Amino acid sequence: MDRIGIEERIKDLACLRAENMYLDDFFLTWDKTDDEIAAVFEVAEILRGMRENNISSKVFDSGLGISLFRDNSTRTRFSYASACNMLGLEVQDLDEGKSQVAHGETVRETANMISFMADVIGIRDDMYIGKGHTYMEEVSKSVEEGHRDGVLEQRPTLVNLQCDIDHPTQSMADALHIINQLGGVENLKGKKVAMTWAYSPSYGKPLSVPQGIIGLLSRFGMDVTLAHPEGYEVMPEVEEVARRNSASSGGSFTKTNSMADAFKDADIVYPKSWAPFSAMEKRTDLYGNGDFDGIDKLEKELLAQNAKHKDWECTEDLMKTTKNGEALYMHCLPADISGVSCKEGEVAASVFDRYRVPLYKEASFKPYIIASMIYLSKFKNPSETLMNLMKNDKNRIF
């Protein structure tokens, strides 16, 4: 994309109604209008274009981007840091081990104490059903109040870097990858996407990826198939979202317990392990009761249950059954690759290898998606500001 291409996209952006994103959080894609979703894609592409043309996208002269990760993370951490850096925000980790949050401080207080100079807060909290999203709403409410009461000079906006319900930065990056692969969002209509469970020797992978995918891709008129063995249901509320989206977008949402059915004639396949929703709910209860023996027992049961479905693997044979045998294979990474990262896993090594470059490209959209979400929550007139940045024409590299 050259400068003219970027400016055209900025003009397109001006036609989208995204003004309600200003000073708002990004929690769930289905909270956002179609125009808002489209605006996130546009700004992500514009920021990418600017970077490719060595044009600075630094809109903050100073300011902090707070990050709060409840578990280990490489790619999300780096994507968030990259997004903040691209816009001029300095990342400051709230490491709960190092902080007084661990000492029984309330969420409301901590949220305010870390936010005096915070323009954005990114949170990843996906470990317990019913917890992550709730926690993010609590933080949001706290800083909203803090701003209203004159405690905070600015209202930091939140970006959901993965919760128990949705993983919007992942699903949006995935969608932008598909849009790029298919040559435009309009080409998604009628395409079949198979979001399917796959076997992994590990336990308790979050549901937010499959939920995020069916909740988002169902908006584009796609034929979305959710496949998993019996007992691996996702949250019923999110299935309902997918059903509603499909109805209004002219696509379809189908459930099946057969991986083969899902792969048959699919344009896109997304085979990925996750834990059953009901088991995760049970785990949250056990955790709440401090019943760690119960959790251990549950883990063992789940691993045994997983092991009955080792045939849920994305093999070359299955890939052959997809549209022209060349469906786009997707994954949020890291994948459990059979014979490579584990004995038996989600995907055959030869399939993974063949799709390595597209998989890495898929991941490469995430920093831009996050930056776009931050950007749209911080500028009242995003297209005007971007056009001014283009006029300003500062080099990223001198």
Binding mask 100-129 for a copy of itself (x = CB under 8 A): xxxxxxx--xx-xxx-xx-x----------
Give every CB contact of residue 192 below 8 A, 6+ residues apart in sequence: 222, 223, 225, 265, 266, 267, 268, 323
Q: Return the sign of the alpha-carbon dihedral for residues 244, 248, 249, 252.
A: positive
Residue 357 binds to a copy of itself (criterion: CB under 8 A): yes
Compute the least distance from the CB of residue 225 to a copy of itself, in Å. 28
Compute the least distance from the CB of residue 283 to a copy of itself, in Å. 20
Using the contact rule CB under 8 A, the part of the chain among 23-31, 33-41, 164-172, 358-366 near a copy of itself is 358-366
The interface with a copy of itself within residues 147-166 (CB under 8 A) comprises 149-153
Of residues 18 and 89, the one with the C-beta less far from a copy of itself: 89
Compute the least distance from the CB of residue 186 to a copy of itself, in Å. 23
Of residues 172 and 262, the one with the C-beta less far from a copy of itself: 172
3-state secondary structure of 92: strand
Give every CB contact of residue 148 below 8 A, 6+ residues apart in sequence: none
Cα(158)–Cα(171) distance, integer angstroms: 17
Report the 3 state secondary structure along 153-165: CCCCEEEECCCCC
Alpha carbon of 388 to those of 56, 373, 381, 393: distances in Å?
11, 19, 11, 8
Residue 88 binds to a copy of itself (criterion: CB under 8 A): yes
Compute the least distance from the CB of residue 62 to a copy of itself, in Å. 5
Cα(233)–Cα(221) distance, integer angstroms: 23
Among 63, 204, 212, 276, binds a copy of itself (CB under 8 A): 63
Which tokens sit at 195? 């979001």
Using the contact rule CB under 8 A, the part of the chain among 241-249, 284-292, 307-315, 363-371 near a copy of itself is 363-371
Among 29, 79, 245, 306, binds a copy of itself (CB under 8 A): 79
Residue 396 binds to a copy of itself (criterion: CB under 8 A): yes
Which residues on adjacent β-strands are paired with residue 227? 196, 256
Cα(346)–Cα(198) distance, integer angstroms: 5
Of residues 74 and 324, the one with the C-beta less far from a copy of itself: 74
3-state secondary structure of 272: strand
Q: Check if the beta carbon of residue 59 is closer than 8 Å to that of residue 379.
A: yes
Using the contact rule CB under 8 A, the part of the chain among 128-136, 275-283, 299-307, 338-346 near a copy of itself is 338-346
Interface size with a copy of itself, residues (CB under 8 A): 73
Of residues 130 and 358, the one with the C-beta less far from a copy of itself: 358
Binding mask 22-61 for a copy of itself (x = CB under 8 A): --------------------------x--xx---xxxxxx
Residue 343 binds to a copy of itself (criterion: CB under 8 A): no
Compute the least distance from the CB of residue 352 to a copy of itself, in Å. 10
Q: Check if the beta carbon of residue 25 is closer than 8 Å to that of residue 135.
A: no
